[in-house]
Amino acid sequence: MANPNKDRGTRWEVSVASYLRDAGFTEAFRLAPGGEHDAGDIGGIRDFAFECRDRAKLSLAENVADANNRAIKKNCKYGVAVMKKRNSPTSAGYVVCSLETFTRLLQDFYADR
């Protein structure tokens, strides 16, 4: 018997990867689940670990913590959670991270200017 929650999550991951590719991040792809070595749900974007979540209840603290753990496992700078907004297109989803992660992102962005 199929798992509807897992199927919904897979569809969201595929949708996020497709959206990122359409936005010019042509190397973005959905990563296969990796168990204890899971490095996130989306690959192909340097320095980022993505934790995609399609759940009825948004749990910011849990999802950001998961994203940060994925970033550590992937050895990258930024862990972000990409959360689906109910009854909305992919582009309306939420991207959340800790203030610490966001500050590093800003520092790196402005250091390059």
Question: pLDDT tens, 92-106?
Answer: 999 999 999 999 999
**Confidence (pTM):** 0.91
Closest CA to 21 of 12, 9, 30, 10: 30
Give CA separation, 1 vs 7, 8, 10, 36, 44, in Å.
12, 15, 16, 24, 32
pLDDT of residue 36: 59
CATH of 4-111, one of 3.10.20, 2.60.40, 2.40.50, 3.40.1350: 3.40.1350
Q: What is the mean pLDDT of residues 62-83?
A: 95
Give CA separation, 82 vs 10, 86, 90, 113, in Å.
13, 13, 10, 27
Question: pLDDT tens, 5-31?
Answer: 788 899 999 999 999 999 999 999 999
Distance of alpha carbon 48 from alpha carbon 63, whole angstroms: 15
